[in-house]
Every structure is written in structure tokens, then in C-alpha cells.
């Protein structure tokens, strides 16, 4: 429904602009079109900059929420080199605690404070390790 309203409003706007330019005559219409083109170009530039900045700001958020995980959790982002994460095994007591329905939730979060821009594991039970790797320029290797 909303698409139809936006399409109709856009059509009315284009038709009104066309009628305005016809009434103005060819010479004045050309001048008005130049002015409108300037503002449309500036608006497009502003949207492109806002999209680029917004895309970088919200890129890469990783989260595990309200989950029960029989193994471990590995979150990796921003690594520009090799990464090797070996198998993680939990002690038997931790595996049994995670399997029980009344197990307390383990929570680990990134230094970013859980604002959705970093890595977080919240309100989740894990039987294995929680490994979070973020923006490392060199090699990362995690084994047992």
C-alpha cells in the first residue's frame, strides 16, 4: 500500500513539474531545469556520503543472543591475514551444566559495550569457549 502512495505522489510531482515548465516557456524552462538539476545533484551527493559513512559505521556487528550452544562460539571479523581456530573442547562439568535447562547463562561481550557495532555473546549458555577476534592485522592462531 505504501509503495502505491509513494509512486502516486512521485507521479503527481513529476506531472506538476512538467506542467510548470510548459507554462514557463522553453527558455525559462531550460534555466529552471538547470537549477533543479543542481539541487538534485547536491541531494544525490549528500545521500552517497551519508550511505558510505553509515555503511562503515554499522558494518561487522556480530552477536549471539538467547542461545544454548553445545560447543563453543567463535566470532572473527576484520582480519586481513590468516586465521586458524582449532577445536575447542569444554571440560565435562561445563558441558553438563550447559545441557541442563536450569544452567545459568554465560555472558561475554566486546569492549564496545554491546552497542551492536562489536561482537557480543549475551544471555547464552555455552559448553565450550567463547572466542572473539576483532580487527587483527597479523596472523591469529587459536588452538585448544
C-alpha cell at 92: 565435562
Q: Average pLDDT in the 96-124 region?
A: 51
69-78, 85-94, 99-108, range with the lowest pLDDT: 99-108
Spatial CA neighbour of 74 closest among 121, 18, 137: 121
Q: Which residue has the cell 502505491?
A: 4
User: How would residue 15 be classed by pLDDT, with cut points 50, 70 and 90?
Assistant: very high
Please write the tens of the pLDDT for every residue from 71-87.
778 777 777 777 777 76
pTM of the predicted model, to two decimals?
0.38
Q: Average pLDDT in the 106-114 region?
A: 41
User: How would residue 51 be classed by pLDDT, with cut points 50, 70 and 90?
Assistant: confident
Evaluate whether 95 touches 129 at the Cβ level (below 8 Å).
no
Amino acid at each position: 500500500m505504501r509503495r502505491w502512495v509513494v509512486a502516486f505522489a512521485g507521479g503527481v510531482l513529476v506531472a506538476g513539474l512538467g506542467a510548470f515548465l510548459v507554462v514557463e516557456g522553453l527558455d525559462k524552462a531550460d534555466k529552471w531545469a538547470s537549477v533543479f538539476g543542481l539541487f538534485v545533484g547536491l541531494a544525490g551527493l549528500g545521500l552517497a556520503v551519508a550511505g558510505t559513512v553509515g555503511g562503515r559505521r554499522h558494518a561487522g556487528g556480530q552477536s549471539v543472543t538467547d542461545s544454548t550452544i553445545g560447543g563453543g562460539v567463535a566470532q572473527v571479523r576484520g582480519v586481513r591475514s590468516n586465521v586458524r581456530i582449532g577445536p575447542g573442547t569444554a571440560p565435562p562439568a561445563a558441558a553438563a551444566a550447559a545441557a541442563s535447562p536450569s544452567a545459568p547463562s554465560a555472558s561475554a561481550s566486546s569492549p564496545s559495550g554491546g552497542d551492536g557495532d562489536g561482537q557480543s555473546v549475551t544471555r547464552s549458555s555455552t559448553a565450550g569457549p567463547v572466542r572473539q577476534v576483532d580487527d587483527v592485522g597479523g596472523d591469529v592462531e587459536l588452538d585448544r
